[in-house]
Amino acid sequence: MDNVHAFSQYWSGQTPFFASFALQQLRLWVSHNPWFDGQEHDHWFDVPAESLQQLQNEYQQGWASLGQQLLTSQPFTFDDRRFASDNWSEPLFGSLATFYLLNSSFMLKLLSLLPIEEEKPRQRLHYLVEQAVAASAPSNFLVSNPDALHRIIETQGASLFTGLLQLRSDLQEGKLRQCDQGEFQVGDNLAITPGDVVFENDLFQLIQYRPLSETQYQKPLFIVPPAINKYYILDLRPENSLVRHLLKQGHQVFLMSWRNFGQEQASLTWDELIQEGVINALRVTRAISGERRLGCLGFCIGGTLLSTALAVLAARGDKDIASLSLFATFLDYLDTGQVSVFVDEQMVAYRERTIGGQGGAVGLFRGEDMGNTFSLLRPNDLWWNYHVDKYLKGQKPVPLDLLFWNNDATNLPGPMYCWYLRHTYLQNDLKSGDLDCCGVKLDLRAIDAPAYILGTHDDHIVPWRSAYASTTLLGGSCRFVLGTSGHIAGVINPPAKQKRHYWTLDQVPKDPDAWLAAAEQHPGSWWNDWFAWLANHAGERRPAVEHPGSAEYPVVEPAPGRYVKQ
């Protein structure tokens, strides 16, 4: 009888029974999740009754609207692209989608009412709820997805068989492929800009590209790409290859190609990647080109590695750098975005014991694990939509070079990865000036060169305000430019496509939002702005270099080289 009375109170609106019940279920979920062990979280669920009542009233209105729509046989329409097809307008599937969206909205609104002041727990709970909401969409299940069911009928079952084959293939690889492996071939239709490997060691190959102009700037551009994925994000197809565009502008280009680290390199440290990797590559570039003052470019973690190497060299008295360009790069890890939900002392210590060498064991951090993690940070855009199209509908993904590259992840040596995690994402002391690296104190302010710093507005890996924070850490003058889109598409944006826009401002105030408020918006790609800036720091033009390598560093093999294909 008590239950009957409680439900009658709920339906009469006298008590927020349903909202209170959902709140208790959320509390129970938190209490059994190891992410929240050792934390006092009872006060997180002290939501005022009037707030719960208002939320419940909104929910009941949504229920009433759904019932009225069914009774009056009104067709269902959705702005959500998961339910955009006409098949979802039918009463059965339309009501199912509406019910899902109603409950999803309710849960997220309930979450916003929780008085969680601590940033990390709030982010983690939001992440967990977001994952659960995304995973439970009716579009993700064969029996509740009318598009997938229609495909089975249209193809006489072939779509289901194809989907199972694609699922088996992805399970064998350990990752959800967003682009079929056979759509592109490195050295065939990707990474085909002419060049030569002129040096290699166990960590990297150094590529010197052949000129595409009659004259070239005096000072070469030395590029450090991310070590997490392959270098050819900067040399995709000819029309969107940053390397090719640089060569046509008249720049000499030298680029590191990190190897896909295996068990033989599992014990490599951060210091070794700096000394034997970046500093070694820069030394060889200077020797081959005959120029000591280089332009330097780093992208993502490649920019972090490059800046660390330049700070080490500066501490040794070598400050001969013509310019520094950092694209979507962290130096100050003040806001690491959604990735921060995974990083805490417990997680880092576990990695240090298991693959970082502190427990005696060294190993690799698998590239597939990082790729899957980054995809799940945007579950509806980079995970479940591919699940639906590939496995339920049996469709092949659209061939896109950016996504092919995204699936071509590389492993990282355990000690290097653990050092990076601790001193950046966890402790944020890369900027401190007190960190020991390669036998010196690491001081980023000792990098006394003009810097061009790019952030992208919708970057969920390197939030643009964190990229902006680099302007206060370097010793030279800084120009900050903000592009649109995300971490990859915002960087790889060739001018010919006339896509997107960007913001510029000559001044660099301390507050990034003040910068954006005063910045001027320009249509198209930011590449031309960077090309103009880079030309001002690249020296005079002279006849193009005719022969790659040198007597000391002869050509090893043609680009793209063996390492990128491993």
Q: Which residues are catalytic?
A: 300
Question: What are the residues whose beta carbons fall under 8 Å from the beta carbon of 369, sequence distance 6 or more?
Answer: none
Question: What are the residues whose beta carbons fall under 8 Å from the beta carbon of 133, sequence distance 6 or more?
Answer: 104, 107, 108
Residue 356 DSSP one-character state: B
* Segment holding 253, helix H or strand E: strand 253-258
* Segment holding 327, helix H or strand E: strand 321-327
Residue 378 DSSP one-character state: S
Tokens of 309: 């190497």
Distance CA 303, CA 227 (A): 10
> Which three-class secondary structure state does DSSP give residue 212?
coil
With contact defined as beta carbons under 8 Å apart, do 318 and 290 qualify?
no
The DSSP-derived string for 257-318 is: EE----GGGTT--HHHIIIIIIIHHHHHHHHHH--SSEEEEEETHHHHHHHHHHHHHHHTT-
Tokens of 319: 């400050």
Cα distance between the two ends of the chain: 68
Bridge partners, residue 275, by sequence: none
Q: How far is CA 435 from the centre of its chain?
A: 26
| Phi-psi domain of 191 (left: phi exceeds 0; alpha: psi -120 through 50; beta: other) | left
Torsions phi, psi for 502 (to 5 deg): -155, 165
Tokens of 461: 């890996």
Q: Do the bridges between strand 541-543 and strand 520-523 make them parallel or antiparallel, or are there none, so unpaired?
A: unpaired
| Phi-psi domain of 254 (left: phi exceeds 0; alpha: psi -120 through 50; beta: other) | beta
Distance CA 170, CA 182 (A): 13
Question: What are the residues whose beta carbons fall under 8 Å from the beta carbon of 562, sequence distance 6 or more?
Answer: 205
Distance CA 224, CA 214 (A): 26
Measured between alpha carbons, how far is residue 219 from residues 249, 429, 526, 553 in Å?
A: 13, 32, 22, 19
With contact defined as beta carbons under 8 Å apart, do 452 and 530 qualify?
yes
Burial bucket for residue 554 (CB in 10 Å: 0-12, 13-18, 19+): exposed
The DSSP-derived string for 135-159 is: HT-GGGSGGG-HHHHHHHHHTTTHH
Residues in the chain: 566
CB atoms within 10 A of CB 205: 24
